[in-house]
Chain A
Amino acid sequence: MSFVFSRSMRTYCLIFLIGFGVTGCNKSNVNPQDKTQRTRKVSQRFIFITNGDDPYFDVLNAGLQAGAEKFALADKGLEVVMEKNNATAQGQIDRLRQLVTQADVAGVAISVIQAENVAIVEEMKRLTEKGVSVITVDGDINQKLFSDGRPYYIGTDNSIAGRLLGTAGRKVLESRGITEGGFIQFTGFTDNDNARARMNGCREAIGKNYSEVDRMADSFDHSRARDNVRSALVNHPDVKALVGIWAYNAPAIAEVVAERGIRDQVSIFTFDAAAQAIEHMANGNIDCMIVQNPFEMGVQTVRLLLAMQEGQDAVLTSMFPDYDQPGGDKFTTGLRLIIPDAWENDEDAPISKKDLESAVSAGTLEVLSLSVFREWLKKYGLSSS
């Protein structure tokens, strides 16, 4: 048969040479940022799988790399990389499946996108069976349903975070003389564990005087985030407060409110400090923010994965002292409440440090004014948190 030399056959060969010639050069080059890793031959990897793509995770990545330096991963022939997911469950399932087939994966940290997704948990378990250390970071699985899904969780205690924001929000509303009314919460997915926990916590803490009118999801679509706010204002013109749950919801809310010119009619409380959100607060468009510490999450992730990899029981015990008790498998990173500079020393401000004494003394919360927070960011070369 002469097909061996047929034209189409030859061109298929060409297809692959071209296609993979381009990418084949890229064998061990992982990420232009990680140039430090190239000096030593890398034999194993820690992988961080996000739920979607957001600057929040860039901060977390900065923490991962800082942790890599701090704990000298390179000397141990390890490196840590972040893989950004495409905001679907299937994406995380596929990624986990790929990692199962790869021999150089030592540990996996994942911010789970859907807390009750059985397939994701099963893939995590498969990885664990292969001897890979698997933990959840920032987004957990539903512990009641899947108690053996993962040994540890690092991240914010989102229920507490939600409650803190709810408390702060209530104080702001009360100080403005609004004793009752509706509020609306905005997030990416309503089935995501951290989103749900925050929203429920906020609703609990804000109290019975205020009713939660709606929870609006935008599937990580930033333009839909804005459209949701617009629809909310149209459908519920007398809403008193808007709550942003994920990092990009804050600027969305602030912009639309500014666009409508109704800043004086609504109070705005948000999570996370996206770069634009910080600007908005400086301009007075956001009342207060609860900020997580993704940088710290990154550092602790590396520490934990290394400890699991090398069996450093001492580290494990110090990170999880109450492991046997409920909630003892969670390592919570700190929270901060950021308030505008104007409120710092003002006695009549809606919130002052005194109001949240108990939380502050427990170490779960730091209350910072905006400028102090900005300095902290600069210190670590970050633009958001």
Chain B
Amino acid sequence: MKLWSSFPLHAVRKWWPSNNEWSLLVAIVLAIVFTAIVDTNHTYFFRPMESLRDIARNSAMLGIFSLGAAVVIIAGGIDLSSGSMIALSGTVCSVTMLSLAPTEMMAFKPVGSAVVLIAVLASLLTGFFVGTLHTWLITVVRLPPFIATLATLVGLRSFARAVCESSTAVLTPTKSALINVADPAFKVVRENVWFSVGTFLVLAFLTWLMLSRTVLGRHLKALGGNEQAARLAGIHTENVKWFAYCFGAMTAALAGLFYIANESVAAPVNQGRGHELNAIAAAVVGGCSLSGGVGTVQGTVLGAFFLRVVIDAVSKIIKTGADVYEGLIVGVVVVLAVTFAQGVNGLRQDRRFLPGALGLCTIPVLALLAGSLASMTTGAASGLATGFTAFIALVALRIWESRSHGKRVQVSISG
């Protein structure tokens, strides 16, 4: 046993993935293999490094603020405003650069590393401010986290846009809803995927360390598990929440910097719109429970990677018009993944899939869904056939279920 107590091995033992994470890993491998085969270009075979680069870059960008989302969820809260924070952070960074070096920015020339550094720090500081605001709203004003971050979801984006337009109105000839970012520092980040991936991995390591090996991390988990008990156990819950929400907002701010590097423009109107849901999905697929107290960094990392692999797979297999189906497939995948991540055993023997009136109504819904999907992808005739078959199958399932259920006879008692 002495061997186990030495730090590195101990760390490995702690890090050893749980069942859910193994399943995610296997699912990722399966998805990659499946795509490699089914894709008619066999892109994964012939151009593996490029595909890996793209997936890695996208996973890193998603993963950075998924870690923030995960920490907030583990602490028992929720942050719906990550997407808008990304927009605000990008705007703050570019506005700072614009105000410190207006001529260079407008001429698409380098602004100098000092200016870039100040701008980056300003963005991160904005993240800190937003996190503080969230904590204040939640602990002092007593707003539920859902409401507080819903307000900032809409408010921050609008604020960012206002900042962008008023700054450009003053500093440039025309008012504009976007600011171009052409500094070589950002170009380097855009072109070398190692910047974003490296940042992500370092951040993931630090987050893991914090969650599993520090007092603060333990307090976070306790807070998420039972807030009242945490307070009674002597934990300063307001401070722990402050950390969690600031971490969430600052990781989103950091992600925002990568977003503007990637797009070479800060466009608060639409940048990152809706992406908070991807981050929350990644965290939850990776095993975080929305009721708090449960979740790991390993799971979140794998969750983000898994989501991006699925999205890339959709693009590779359906070459044109992939985004039409992307939402549907990602939605189905997330539902199934979360169902099994949260350990719901749907195949228990005494549970019916089509109970009562609800089950009866669900039959046509599922049949229609299957039929319409099939007809959109393979043609009207086979679509009709698929829908019809699904309907028959579901009706048969329903009959079988009610028969075996009914075998347990109910007896009414007479006086």
Which positions in A face B, CB cutoff 8 Å? 3, 6-9, 11-16, 18-20, 22-31, 45, 47, 81, 83-84, 86-90, 93, 97-98, 100-104, 114, 116-120, 122, 145, 189-191, 217, 219
Contact = CB atoms under 8 A, between A and B. Distances in A.
Most A CB contacts (10 A, CB to CB) among B23, B174, B313 go to B23
Interface residues of B, number: 63
B166 interface: no
A83 B320 contact: yes
A101 B51 contact: yes
B188 interface: no
A118 B262 contact: no
A6 B23 contact: yes
Given A19-B333, A45-B319, A117-B265, 4 more contacts: A8-B23, A26-B317, A90-B271, A117-B180
Interface in B11-48: 19-20, 22-24, 26-27, 30-31, 34, 38, 40-41, 43, 46-47
B263 A90 contact: yes
Contacts of B19: 3, 6, 8
Given A101-B43, A119-B190, A145-B108, A26 B377 contact: yes
B132 interface: no
A293 to B, nearest CB: 25
Contacts of A19: 310, 329, 332-333
A15 B332 contact: yes
Contact of B38 (A24, A102, A103): A24
Q: Is the interface of B mostly helix, strand, loop or mixed?
A: helix
Contacts of B30: 12-13, 16
A23 B314 contact: yes
Contact of B27 (A16, A29, A30): A16
A72 to B, nearest CB: 21
A16 B31 contact: yes
Contacts of A117: 180, 263-265
A28 to B, nearest CB: 7
B267 A89 contact: yes
Nearest to A9: B23
Nearest to A103: B41
B104 to A, nearest CB: 14
Interface string B287-329: 0000000000000000000000010011111111101010001
Nearest to A86: B323
A117 B318 CA distance: 27
Contacts of B122: none
A101 B50 contact: yes
Contacts of B374: 22
Nearest to B183: A118
B351 to A, nearest CB: 14
Contacts of B34: 16, 20
A20 B313 contact: yes
B36 to A, nearest CB: 12
B38 to A, nearest CB: 5
B315 A98 contact: yes
B333 A119 contact: no
Contact of B317 (A18, A24, A104): A24
Nearest to A120: B264
Interface string B249-271: 00000000000001111010111
A175 to B, nearest CB: 32
Interface string B59-99: 00000000000000000000000000000000000000000
A84 B47 CA distance: 25
A26 B320 CA distance: 10
A98 B374 CA distance: 26
A90 B51 contact: no
Given A15-B27, A19-B333, A89-B263, A9 B22 contact: yes
A23 B264 contact: no
